[in-house]
Amino acid sequence: MTQIATVERIIDADHAEISVPRKSACGHDCEECAGCGVTGAAVHAKAVNPIGARPGQKVVVQSSTQKMLGIVVLVYLIPVVLFLAGYLLAAFLTASVAVQYTVAVAAFLMGIGFAILYDRHLRDRGGLSFTIVRLF
């Protein structure tokens, strides 16, 4: 996955801190929409800096697409799958709709909890790995 980033600071001879604009489905074309009023947030990350980019420069960074897809599956798919599994399991065990939805919501919340714990684990290990490939 290739993205545009800004070098914020130099960490050491081989690494820099970068700021990557967070992408969303709306595209942040606020002049056209004026719906949410939210400006694009940025994610700060550590990147390997083999080209010697300096603070303030716009750069092209590359990250592992496979790792990114794995994170997307954990964050979005697992809670939904657990919701459905909880609902179906409760449906086989009881006829009470209230119990079925309670079990489904509890399973969904467990999936969200797992995603939060995984995010903290990933952040402690350094998160996604970015490599600066060239100046923009």
Residue 112: pLDDT above 70?
yes
Q: Which residue has 């999936």 as its token pair?
A: 111
For residue 135, list its beta bridge partners.
59
The amino acid present at 61, given as its one-letter code, is V
Judged by DSSP in three states, 117 sits in helix
The answer for 28, left when phi > 0, alpha when psi is -120 to 50, beta otherwise, is left
Residue 100: pLDDT above 90?
yes
For the entire predicted model, the pTM comes to: 0.57
Residue 50: pLDDT above 60?
yes
**% of the chain residues with pLDDT over 70:** 82
Residue 111: pLDDT above 60?
yes
**β-pairing, 42-48 with 58-63?**
unpaired
Residue 123: pLDDT above 80?
no
pLDDT of res. 74: 78
